[in-house]
């Protein structure tokens, strides 16, 4: 019979001393690692009651959020409006549909003769008012630069290559502090609303309602307004705000608050009562 050899596996621990060393290391190493991790997480700082890290300022700094939100009033930056914005809020009321023979936006044939006049002349004429177009498109609050940008925006959309006017440098001298105005008397509320309605009418509504353009009821025409008055004021308000027929929402000036639009409707209704 052949002999059968059985290999014996030898252990790395051969003496009692080696066994003791292995047991000590098996216990000490985890404790050491846990201590090191705790030290890293805490930053190794002193968190005792009298420690600078536990002061109110230090705690507040650690609790401070990563970012903050700053809320400012619209227009607070004082930035001038761009040509596209002015077009959408002021000019589109007529130029989007060609009301009052206004050259339609993007119509190269309609704009060709105007573009041929040159940027400077066309802008100056439009700023003063041309034929049925009121000065500055009916919004006298527009600055020269804002209005010129709108003209350039429309001309460029029809094939021109005009330069968009840059902002004029603002004066570095701060304006003098205005004296506090006295509180208005309660009785003046109705007068203020009426005046505001007329102002909105002059800027946004007159261009169509003064002449009855595109079926708009003429201001002061009782016969034209009669069926609309029968529908009720709420219906009139909704039509003026949302738009109806050829009339765009808010007369083409979507920046107007609903209250201003209603004031303008009240003003026109008062004219036929």
- CB of 267 within 8 A of CB of 197? yes
Residue corresponding to tokens 């400012």: 72
- CB of 197 within 8 A of CB of 263? yes
Any domain includes 201: yes
SS3 labels along 21-74: HHHHHHHHHHHHHHHHHHHHHHCCCCCCCCCHHHCHHHHHHHHCCCCCCCCCCC
Q: Are residues 202 and 251 in the same domain?
A: yes
Res 72 pLDDT > 50: no
Any domain includes 119: yes
Q: Average pLDDT of 159-180? A: 66
- Most confident segment among 28-42, 206-220, 228-242: 228-242
Q: Are residues 147 and 196 in the same domain?
A: no
Q: Are residues 134 and 202 in the same domain?
A: no
d(CA 202, CA 99): 17
Q: Are residues 144 and 200 in the same domain?
A: no
Q: What pLDDT is attached to residue 189?
A: 39
Any domain includes 108: yes
Q: Which of 104, 136, 157 is the last residue of a domain?
A: 157
pLDDT-based confidence at residue 66 (cuts at 50, 70, 90): low
Q: Are residues 141 and 197 in the same domain?
A: no
Say what the pTM is. Answer: 0.44
120: CATH: 1.10.760.10
Q: Is 105 helix (H, G, I), strand (E, B) or coil?
A: coil
Any domain includes 72: no
Q: Average pLDDT of 238-253? A: 80
Digit-coded pLDDT (tens) for 92-131: 888 888 877 889 999 999 899 999 999 999 888 888 887 7
Res 182 pLDDT > 60: no
Q: What pLDDT is attached to residue 109?
A: 92
Helices and strands in the chain, H and E counts: 12, 0
Q: What pLDDT is attached to residue 71?
A: 45
Structural domain count of the chain: 2
- Residue 15: CB atoms within 10 Å: 8
Res 168 pLDDT > 90: no
Q: What pLDDT is attached to residue 255?
A: 78
- CB of 117 within 8 A of CB of 123? no
Digit-coded pLDDT (tens) for 256-266: 888 888 888 89
Backbone angles phi, psi at 204, to 5 degrees: -115, -30
Q: Average pLDDT of 177-196? A: 52
Any domain includes 65: no
d(CA 193, CA 199): 10
Q: Are residues 209 and 251 in the same domain?
A: yes
Q: Are residues 141 and 198 in the same domain?
A: no
Any domain includes 21: no
Q: Are residues 267 and 195 in the same domain?
A: yes
Res 180 pLDDT > 70: no
Q: What angle do CA 185, 190, 192 make, to 5 degrees?
A: 75
3-state helix, strand, coil split of the chain in percent (to 5) is 55, 0, 40
Any domain includes 127: yes
Any domain includes 35: no
Q: Which domain holds residue 219?
A: 191-271
């Amino acid at each position: 019979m052949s002999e059968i050899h059985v290999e014996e596996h030898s252990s790395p621990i051969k003496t009692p001393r080696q066994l003791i060393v292995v047991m000590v290391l098996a216990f000490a190493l985890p404790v050491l690692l846990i201590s090191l991790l705790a030290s890293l997480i805490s930053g190794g700082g002193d968190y005792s009651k009298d420690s600078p890290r536990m002061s109110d300022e230090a705690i507040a700094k650690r609790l401070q959020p990563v970012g903050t939100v700053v809320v400012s009033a619209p227009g607070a930056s004082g930035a001038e409006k761009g040509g596209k914005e002015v077009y959408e809020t002021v000019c589109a009321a007529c130029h989007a549909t060609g009301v009052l023979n206004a050259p339609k936006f993007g119509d190269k044939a309609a704009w060709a003769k105007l573009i041929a006049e040159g940027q400077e002349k066309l802008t100056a004429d439009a700023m003063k008012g041309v034929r049925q177009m009121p000065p500055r498109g009916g919004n006298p609050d527009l600055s020269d630069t804002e209005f010129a940008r709108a003209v350039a925006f429309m001309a460029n959309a029809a094939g021109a290559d005009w330069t968009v006017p840059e902002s004029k440098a603002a004066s570095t001298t701060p304006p003098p502090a205005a004296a506090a105005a006295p509180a208005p008397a309660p009785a003046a509320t109705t007068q203020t609303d009426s005046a505001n309605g007329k102002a909105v009418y002059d800027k946004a509504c007159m261009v169509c309602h003064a002449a009855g353009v595109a079926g708009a009821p003429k201001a002061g025409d009782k016969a034209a307004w009669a069926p609309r008055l029968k529908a009720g004021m709420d219906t009139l308000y909704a039509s003026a705000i949302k738009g109806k027929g050829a009339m765009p929402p808010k007369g083409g000036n979507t920046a107007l608050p609903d209250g201003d639009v209603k004031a303008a409707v009240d003003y026109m209704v008062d004219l036929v009562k």
